[in-house]
Structure 1
Amino acid sequence: VSTSGCHDCHTPWHVGPNGPEPDMRRALSGHPQAMVMPPAPKLPEGPWLVVTAATNTAFAGPWGVTYTANLTPDPESGLGKWTAKDFIETIRTGRRMGRGREILPPMPYPVYNNMTDADLTAVFTYLQSIPAMPNKVPEPRPPAAPVAGKS
């Protein structure tokens, strides 16, 4: 989990004594439920692609707004009801439980797709061993629709 960078996005960040750092009290719990995000700012012109929340758990880009998932074993808001097979199928297909909605950026599931089933099972086993944290993450928001008559 450390090597794969899961904490980089799935653990909310806060400002610590040395600057931004993961808030390990909320390790792998995803975007904070209580943090309601305003509409995403308009992306600037040019090569910029993404804007990120200060917690590093919400991302806006051409795909809309995505929120990092709760990876803890909480049965209602995390992976508590998932099986290793569900987890592996999600990574392999880029779809929730292998058949649901698409996994959206910035989740680099194609990179993790190169991990073996044994490696992914080990990651899932670890995620099932950490403390469960109730934290219902919002569903992704689609990109803003253009206003009629404007381009």
Structure 2
Amino acid sequence: MLVLGERIKSSRISREWTQEELAKKIGTTKHVISNWERDKANPDPAQIVALADVFEVSTDYLLGLSNFPQPHFWDPFGQLSIMPVIDYSFVQGMAWDLPRLINSGITLTVNGTEIAPKDKKLITTIIELTLERIKEAQREI
């Protein structure tokens, strides 16, 4: 995995972090970072995800499967992070399926207050009823 070590090192250096600083950010040691950068060892999958998260790049980029650092979808508001337990299929290019986003498991807030699950269900119902009324109005035209 020659690309992985190179990308870890270049990502670290571009942020002007020492190996020790990177190690602290992902919960390992300077020695481990050094071994990765010299291709003497490889991070495990959880460490690859941690690296991608701290560098704000995709795991595909770190592994050399892509030359584009950004994930396939880009969150312009910086509210999504790498969370493998959440299904991000509601993101389709630049369009988001709002009811699926609301019910995706991501914490959503309004003015710093988290939206409760019962309120998410109510919001979804309102959206669905509104869309149904729009369709009915269009049929009448």
Scaled by the length of structure 1, the TM-score of the pair is: 0.24
The answer to which structure has the higher helix fraction is 2
The answer to which structure has the higher strand fraction is 1
Point out which structure has higher relative CO (alpha carbons under 8 A, 6+ apart): 1
Scaled by the length of structure 2, the TM-score of the pair is: 0.25
